[in-house]
């Protein structure tokens, strides 16, 4: 069975550091909740408690690293449920886009960046469904206002149990099974996603108050205050990251292969049309660093994708320069 791309962290700090940073930001948010809600009604009385639940879950979810073997799938049963799952998550993504337009951070809390890895992988899809169901339950009122029904939400939740029911046998394989690790990382990303939303809003809400703005800076920012991300991508695989700095037409980004090796090739672009890259730039051993304007990477969007087209892992660094 071909393995899908592993779920990657949306942040660069150690997990424990990220969680502590998020708890600190959470406290600053609670102290200013009224200001956030006045700025954007989505930061209502439920946002803080939901964030705290996500943080507590991230703290208590074990980071499994033992080898347990991949779960064997019964092809016919699994594919039927997987097709239902793909339709269900695509539907909820659509309604999230309607309820929270141009809000990449909100969509990230639904696990959107993991869809490419999950769409053909039983275990990853189960984790994605659970993440999407948890977030949709939180946002039920906003989604319902745009036409997402209670029946659709209930069906989304029931698919988690259906996928679990089809998973009845295991096959012993060489290497480490990433199922539990992927679940752990997804839970961490969910907690971080709340911070991404708050940080993005704070950049507008406190634009004239540098001291307060600094309280809501993500750990992914460099010491100079520039947003910076690193992605390690497996051979012939893809990975995505959501930026909080608005990628306006005037935004410049520096893209570079961190450790260029012979034969490495990586395409970088905005996520458009379900993970395809109609617009992109290419990094190679010969051209390992480029400064580009955001529109070169695609017409719109806060999520960038790195596609590794080579036979060796690549690590790509991305920094917003202005």
CB atoms within 10 A of CB 302: 22
> Does residue 235 lie within any of the structural domains?
yes
> Does residue 4 lie within any of the structural domains?
no
Rounded Cα distance between 108 and 242, Å, is 7
- Joined together, the tokens standing for residue 319 give 């920094």
Q: Does the pLDDT at position 159 exceed 90?
A: no
Structural domain ending residue among the three candidates 213, 229, 249: 213
Residue numbers of the domain that contains 265: 221-320
> Does residue 291 lie within any of the structural domains?
yes
SS (H, E, C) 47-91: HHHHHHHHHHHHHHCCCCCCCCCCEECCHHHHHHHHHHHHHHHHH
Which of these ranges, 30-39, 167-176, 184-193, 280-289, has the smallest mean pLDDT?
A: 167-176
Tell me which residue has tokens 């959501």: 242
Q: What is the pLDDT of residues 118-140, one digit of tens each?
A: 888 877 888 888 888 888 988 99
Which of these ranges, 68-82, 163-177, 200-214, 229-243, has the smallest mean pLDDT?
A: 163-177
Q: In Å, how far are 179, 205, 221, 253, 285 from 225, measured between CA atoms?
A: 35, 17, 5, 14, 29
- Joined together, the tokens standing for residue 255 give 């893209």
Residues 6+ apart with CB under 8 A from 263: 285, 310, 311, 312
Rounded Cα distance between 299 and 313, Å, is 28
Same domain, 107 and 143: yes
Mean pLDDT of 11-31: 85
Pairing state of beta strands 265-270 and 303-308? antiparallel
How would residue 47 be classed by pLDDT, with cut points 50, 70 and 90? very high
pTM over 0.75: no
Mean pLDDT of the chain: 80
- Identify which has the larger pLDDT, 181 or 91: 91
Q: What is the pLDDT of residues 160-211, one digit of tens each?
A: 777 766 654 333 333 344 556 678 888 888 999 899 899 888 888 988 887 7
> Does residue 87 lie within any of the structural domains?
yes
User: Would you state the pLDDT for residue 97?
Assistant: 87
Mean pLDDT of 144-150: 89
Same domain, 303 and 255: yes
User: Would you state the pLDDT for residue 64?
Assistant: 57
Query: Domain of 275: which CATH number?
Result: 2.60.120
- Joined together, the tokens standing for residue 302 give 């806060």
User: What's the domain count of the chain?
Assistant: 2
CB burial of residue 77 (10 Å; 0-12, 13-18, 19+): middle
- Joined together, the tokens standing for residue 282 give 């290419």
CB atoms within 10 A of CB 113: 25
Same domain, 282 and 140: no
- Identify which has the larger pLDDT, 224 or 146: 146
| E-strand stretches of 171-288 | 228-233, 238-242, 252-257, 265-270, 281-284
User: Would you state the pLDDT for residue 75?
Assistant: 56
Same domain, 287 and 236: yes
Tell me which residue has tokens 């690193």: 230
> Does residue 2 lie within any of the structural domains?
no
Same domain, 188 and 248: no
- Identify which has the larger pLDDT, 69 or 196: 196
User: Would you state the pLDDT for residue 268?
Assistant: 92
CB atoms within 10 A of CB 67: 11
Q: Does the pLDDT at position 42 exceed 80?
A: yes
> Does residue 289 lie within any of the structural domains?
yes
User: Would you state the pLDDT for residue 175?
Assistant: 38
């Amino acid at each position: 069975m071909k393995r899908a791309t592993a779920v990657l962290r949306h942040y660069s700090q150690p997990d424990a550091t990220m969680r502590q940073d998020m708890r600190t930001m959470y406290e600053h948010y609670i102290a200013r909740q009224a200001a956030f809600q006045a700025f954007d009604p989505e930061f209502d009385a439920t946002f803080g408690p939901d964030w705290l639940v996500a943080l507590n879950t991230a703290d208590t979810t074990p980071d499994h690293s033992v080898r347990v073997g991949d779960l064997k799938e019964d092809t016919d049963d699994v594919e039927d449920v997987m097709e239902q799952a793909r339709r269900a998550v695509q539907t909820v993504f659509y309604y999230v886009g309607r309820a929270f337009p141009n809000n990449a951070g909100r969509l990230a809390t639904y696990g959107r960046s993991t869809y490419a890895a999950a769409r053909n992988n039983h275990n990853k899809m189960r984790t994605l469904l659970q993440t999407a169901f948890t977030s949709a339950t939180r946002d039920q009122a906003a989604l319902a206002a745009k036409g997402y029904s209670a029946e659709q939400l209930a069906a989304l939740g029931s698919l988690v149990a259906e996928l679990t029911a089809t998973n009845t046998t295991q096959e012993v394989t060489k290497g480490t099974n990433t199922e539990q690790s992927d679940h752990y990382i997804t839970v961490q990303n969910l907690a971080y996603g709340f911070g991404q939303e708050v940080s993005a809003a704070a950049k507008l809400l406190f634009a004239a108050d540098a001291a307060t703005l600094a309280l809501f800076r993500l750990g992914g920012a460099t010491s100079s205050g520039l947003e910076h991300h690193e992605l390690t991508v497996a051979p012939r695989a893809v990975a995505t990251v959501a930026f909080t700095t608005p990628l306006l037409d005037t935004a410049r980004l520096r893209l570079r292969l961190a450790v260029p090796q012979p034969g490495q090739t990586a395409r970088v672009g905005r996520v458009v049309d379900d993970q395809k890259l109609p617009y992109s730039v290419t990094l190679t051993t010969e051209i390992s660093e480029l400064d580009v304007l955001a529109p070169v990477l695609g017409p719109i969007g806060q999520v960038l994708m790195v596609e590794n087209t080579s036979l060796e892992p690549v690590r790509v660094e991305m920094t917003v320069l202005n």
